[in-house]
Chain A
Amino acid sequence: MIAIPSIPGFLREPNGPIGKPVNRVDGRKKVTGDAHYAAEFTLPDLAHGCIVSSAIARGRITRIDTAAALALPGVIHIFTHENRPSLAWFDRKWKDDDAPKGSPFRPLYDAEIHHALQPVALVIAESFELARYAARLVHIEYEVAPHQTNLRANRANTFTPGKDKGGFQPPPKPRGNPEQAFLDSPVQVDVEFTQAAEYHNPMEMHATTVLHHDDGTLTVHDKTQGAQNCHTYVCNVFGLPKSAVRVMSPFVGGAFGSGLRPQHQLFMAMLAATQLKRSVRVELSRPQMFSFGHRPETIQRVALGADRDGTLRALIHEAVQESSRNENYVEIVVNWSGQQYTCDNVRLDYKLSRLDVHTPQDQRAPGAATGVPALEIAMDELACKLGMDPVELRLKNYAETDPNTGNPFSSKELRACFQHGAERFGWAKRTPAPRSMREGRELIGWGMAAGVWDAMQGQAAAKAVLGVDGKLVVSSATADIGTGTYTVMTQIAADVLGLPIEEVTFCLGDSSLPTAPIEGGSWTVSTVGSAVKAVCDRVRSQLVTLAGKLDNSPLKGVAEADVLFADGHLIVRNDRSRRLSITDVMRGSGTLSIEEEARALPYLLARARHTFATHSAVFVEVRVDEDLGTIRVARVVSAIAAGRIINPKTARSQIQGAVVWGIGMGLEEEAFTDHRLGRVMNHDYAEYHVPVNADVPEIDVLFVEEHDDMVNALGAKGVGEIGIVGVPAAIANAIHHATGVRVRDFPITLDKVLAGLR
């Protein structure tokens, strides 16, 4: 057991806001239109940019004729690789906090075309409509080179990446003798899975507004999950002093990973603003949202060998994914398969195939959302072959410690997820045979799957300013991409200092605030929440010290650990009549404000010796029309183990949203690439399908009790991604239960079911 710093008073007050379903503190701003997004800021002389996208997938530009566009009155300038200014030379200047190994894409750098829809010119005009029209008049001639965009055709042309991206470890070395153990197993499953490329498609399209101030400084309103990441990037690329630029992103209309890296609209808006010395906005069109970053297409093989009692003897999981020519995007995909179940003979293998595409990009539960469903469908197939209940099979092989490392889990209440989820769903009433449940022409299927995601923590700093009026402002340069960061950070601060929620303001989305990492990986509560707690603890100590020094103080000589904070007061724990209000302490001591800054680190020793993960069990009912193959998800129960839930309301919304994502991944989302053109063709909301309201049933979310002293000072793990991980597999398994048709190719569209119903 690792020694954990004590947590004085904190979380011991049952009436504090932590754990309460507090409404979003930014809710009113959002519903009244008072929350402003990147493309909504303006100055009187704002110029508008429109990006011209490449018509080819690979080759080079031989000629750009901008004369017709420039001839239009009101067109200010057209940037191309031919007239761009000198930019940073070294790759490291173009790197960002989420960049994988390789050479980052440089917009307008040279004549080379690396992928379809690559930005090749930027038209700046006095109005958006004019810029868009002028962009169409830019005449570009290309020398076309052959391209490869088809992963299936290039699946053998692979290499094994290393530790090429933060947050992802290469697969562990094989253990035991998996090939022989598989051959020796009396019950075997050996199957291949394919997963289509998916695009993030946040509702708000990527946009940047650069406001050029009279003193030459720039305020950059960008759609990003990391204001400081973008700040460093633009300063490096354009050679600007840090003080000359401030990047803001107080509100982000969804991102799901698409805002983890600086995207090219940021570069474009900065290029124009710095060159033209005026304010500029560049917003991508919906088709251009398919010009960067996506969840990569994947081909996987899962082979499971088991004894007749269900004991796993062999587990082999191989994955091939696409990456670009210029960077090694990795999400490993297979590692969770070695972690989820006890098995002595395991081989995990992960390879990349380089295609002529833009670099893929982390998308909600990157890797796990792709790899875990493959494992969980294979487990379902194994259960079918064994004649065993799918939940029983998972319990039979339940990993009490992490088989990949041998380390214990900091906490793992997956067993409780299975139990409570199954109870809520009514799993016991399931008849195991496929096609055994129906209502009229609808075949009913009940399927389940487990999920897992990492409980990561980074480093962050936070600042707190407590005013004499008892109002607290806490800040950190993190982001709120709709997840509820504003709200939970407010709750944590209010809890530590015993303040009403209304007295606390949390500021984020501003590169000038204390350091915070990009908001991703479900680590923000853990990372930034710990910093908020740390800084508020310091304010708390100061208040106790100040209170003790006051004349006739009822807190004189009371140790900090014996003081609790509630209702805006400092209260002696074992004699609650002895109390002082925070404002009285401030006034009495002549303190106008208390300012503190603190940095929080993960518990590195604990982290080195434990595995930290969130878990889920997902139960799904589908209805499949037996003649037409149409699939409807009728109900979902998702049981989540994620440590302490800071806000059950925003956490539930996270899980529900992720289940909707899982429905999309399971049934609908797919980028169709025309491999002759190397181009995604369904690049709009009409034809790239995400679930609509009518696709989404009642989603029942349970949070099981999970106590964790090691994960961080809050005991909370983060819930942004775990909700999606099990869902596609549970849907696939339910479809099999309904129809007897096993589809291993996501998304499961009706034609794939129909083919099996014949």
Chain B
Amino acid sequence: MRSFTYARADSAADAVGRAGASGTAFVAGGTNLLDLMKADVVHPERLVDISRLPLDRIEDTAEGGLRLGALARNADTAYDERVQTRYPMLSKAILAGASAQLRNMATNGGNLLQRTRCYYFYDTATPCNKREPGSGCGAIGGVNRIHAILGASDQCIAVHPSDLCVALAALEAVVQVTGPEGERSIPFAEFHRLPGDRPEIDTVLRPGDLITAIDLPAKGFAEHSTYLKIRDRASYAFALVSVAAGLEMDGGTVRDARLALGGVAHKPWRDPEAEAALIGKPATPDQFRGAARVLLRDAKGHEHNSFKIELAERAIVRALTEAAERKGAPRP
């Protein structure tokens, strides 16, 4: 096999120190990275195993929020009582993704860093600017049922496949990172990039950066929220469109709103203008549709995925309707 070195980090600082050299990748759950290595899509020269670092806890924060350790497993996060009670949309989003086996292995930090499921990214005999910059985008003019309708570029129309991240975007989570230049906090909306002319870069992380935690603010929209995932089969499929919706209600009026979409862009898609269009308005399907149209105003379809534009509109209306109706956090 293609040779690589393997080292186990004994502290976050050690991990960051080892990751300075180019061609280094952190490995935790390995549910995406190892597949990509086997498929010859990525070939790190050095693996730094961070899976034993003490970053797997879920703890309350002083601000009334919750800190999700980067190495907490997806399953442990979804079934954490505080997450279920205070951030039910997050729990629901995690459980809508992958399979029980994968959720037991996959970590929260790894989920943020998973790569697209674009067919061309995976098939090394085809062009892909994300895998091989400059080779072209196979999906544009090719098979693009699962591709982006928002924020794409003429270099890449891939989508981010995560469910968890869509809820994190809606919740305005903050990604805690430690790196060669110290620690910093990255607002979730800024964490993932749009493809532009550098589609090979998914996030704003710099070489050597290690995600240590994901902080959830106090506001969890527990009373009025949902995660709606629409896909081609009932389980074990990536979202065609997914919607994380959170509302704060004042009677029949929307006091605050969060809306994030998955399956439609290179990053979880949030649009402050669409959310603004909801605030102070009655919670009616027409208002929801209006907000959806704001969010989708620049949506652009390709040969096989144009249906996503209307599907996204309908999904937004449905998700907001469900969120508005919902009272209290559902107990799985």
Contacts and interface: CB of A to CB of B under 8 A. Distances in A.
B307 A754 contact: yes
Contact of B317 (A133, A627, A750): A627
A683 B143 CA distance: 12
A686 B235 contact: no
A133 B2 contact: yes
Contact of A674 (B38, B40, B124, B138): B138
A287 B119 CA distance: 11
A672 B145 contact: yes
B318 A628 contact: yes
A403 interface: no
A683 B119 CA distance: 8
B314 A676 contact: no
Contacts of A632: 234
Nearest to B99: A692
B238 interface: yes
Contacts of B304: 672
Interface string A269-311: 0000000000000000001000000000000000000000000
Interface residues on B, range: 35 or more
Interface string B304-327: 100100110011011000000000
Given A133-B2, A683-B123, A689 B307 contact: no
A252 to B, nearest CB: 25
Interface string B213-232: 00000000000000000101
Contact of A693 (B235, B315, B318): B235
A686 B234 contact: no
Nearest to A674: B142
A287 B120 CA distance: 13
A694 interface: yes
B141 interface: yes
Contacts of A687: 117, 119, 146
A689 B237 contact: yes
Given A133-B1, A677-B126, A687-B119, A692 B236 contact: yes
B233 interface: yes
B125 interface: yes
A689 B125 CA distance: 22
B315 A628 contact: yes
B167 to A, nearest CB: 19
B115 to A, nearest CB: 12
Of B125, B233, B235, B240, most buried by chain A (CB within 10 Å of CB) is B233
Interface in A212-236: none
B122 interface: yes
Of B2, B143, B146, most buried by chain A (CB within 10 Å of CB) is B143
A679 interface: yes
Of B145, B232, B238, most buried by chain A (CB within 10 Å of CB) is B232
A161 B240 CA distance: 41
Contact of B143 (A668, A673, A691, A749): A673
A583 interface: no
Contacts of A710: none
A751 interface: yes
A629 B237 CA distance: 17
A692 B311 contact: no
Contact of A755 (B123, B142, B307): B307
A245 B146 CA distance: 48
B310 A754 contact: yes
Given A686-B117, A754-B311, A692 B142 contact: no
Nearest to A129: B1
A287 B142 CA distance: 18
Interface string B7-48: 000000000000000000000000000000010100000000
A758 interface: yes
A742 interface: no
A681 B123 contact: yes
Interface in A636-679: 667-668, 672-674, 676-677, 679
A198 to B, nearest CB: 15
A681 B143 contact: yes
Contacts of A287: 123
Nearest to A132: B1
Interface string A51-65: 001010000000000
B125 A679 contact: yes
Nearest to B117: A686
Given A681-B123, A682-B119, A683-B123, A629 B235 contact: no
A311 B318 CA distance: 46
Contact of A695 (B126, B233, B318): B233
B230 A750 contact: yes
Of A127, A674, A693, most buried by chain B (CB within 10 Å of CB) is A674
Of A628, A668, A673, A695, most buried by chain B (CB within 10 Å of CB) is A628
A136 B43 CA distance: 12
Contacts of A45: none
Interface residues on A, range: 35 or more
Interface in B280-332: 304, 307, 310-311, 314-315, 317-318
Contacts of B138: 674, 677, 681
A628 B311 contact: yes
A694 B232 contact: no
A692 B232 CA distance: 11
B125 A684 contact: no
Contacts of B238: 686
B27 to A, nearest CB: 17
A627 B315 CA distance: 8
A149 to B, nearest CB: 12
Interface string B129-153: 0000000001001110110000000
Interface in A681-730: 681-684, 686-687, 689, 691-695
A679 B126 contact: yes
Contacts of A754: 307, 310-311, 314
A130 interface: yes
Nearest to A632: B234
A160 interface: no
A676 B141 contact: yes
Given A681-B120, A681-B123, A676 B234 contact: no
Interface in A25-57: 53, 55
Interface in A721-758: 749-751, 754-755, 758
A361 B11 CA distance: 55
A64 to B, nearest CB: 15
B117 A692 contact: no
Given A628-B314, A673-B143, A695-B233, A55 B122 contact: no
Interface string B234-273: 1111101000000000000000000000000000000000
A294 B124 CA distance: 23
Contacts of B145: 672
Contacts of B117: 686-687
A436 interface: no
Contacts of A628: 230, 311, 314-315, 318
Nearest to B305: A751
A570 B211 CA distance: 78
Contacts of A132: 1, 38
A627 B145 CA distance: 20
A630 interface: yes
A628 B119 CA distance: 25
A754 B1 CA distance: 47
B124 to A, nearest CB: 8
B318 A627 contact: yes
A55 B233 contact: no
Contacts of A129: 1
Given A132-B1, A677-B138, A689 B232 contact: yes
5 tightest A-B CB contacts, nearest first: A129-B1, A694-B234, A751-B307, A55-B125, A681-B119
Given A679-B126, A686-B238, 6 more contacts: A672-B143, A692-B233, A692-B235, A694-B235, A695-B235, A751-B307
18 contacts: A127-B1, A133-B1, A628-B314, A628-B315, A632-B234, A672-B119, A672-B143, A674-B126, A681-B123, A683-B123, A686-B117, A689-B232, A694-B236, A695-B234, A695-B235, A750-B230, A751-B307, A751-B311
